[in-house]
Amino acid sequence: MTTVGVGIDLVDVERFDQIISRRPALLTRLFTEDELAECSGRSERLAARFAAKEAVLKVCGAGIGAARWRDIEILKTPSGAPVVRVQRSADELARRCGVETWHLSLTHTDVAAGAVVVGSAS
């Protein structure tokens, strides 16, 4: 496996929560129904997933707007491990930059949420 890129992002949970409180419609713009269900409304979990989505974009050397937020989905496997799933615009971006496999680590406290994403190819 060859590393295509590494992305990292950190989100202030309180600030994220304030933004969502002021603009609740953002939740459905940023997250899929499955993501919202898995997070059960917990701000720190949502913030970690948002950080992961930004980190996915950074793997490809791209920024906000390069793919739709909901086209990058951060879910859990049955074991609880986080996983990246890309579709539509995010899948196109991944193909253009050569990513075939995603590796993801999430972390959060009540204060901060972070994600590290590595994109690799065979």
What would the pLDDT profile of 66-120 be if each residue is shown by its tens digit? 999 999 999 999 999 999 999 999 999 999 999 999 999 999 999 999 999 999 9
Q: Residue 1: what pLDDT?
A: 87
CA-closest candidate to residue 59, choices 16, 20, 113, 95:
95
In whole angstroms, give the CA distance from residue 5 to residue 102: 10
Q: Count of domains in the chain?
A: 1
In whole angstroms, give the CA distance from residue 12 to residue 16: 6
Compute the average pLDDT of residues 26-55: 97
Q: What's the CATH number where 109 sits? A: 3.90.470.20
Instruction: Please state the pTM of the whole predicted model.
Output: 0.95
Which range of residues forms the domain containing residue 45?
Answer: 2-121
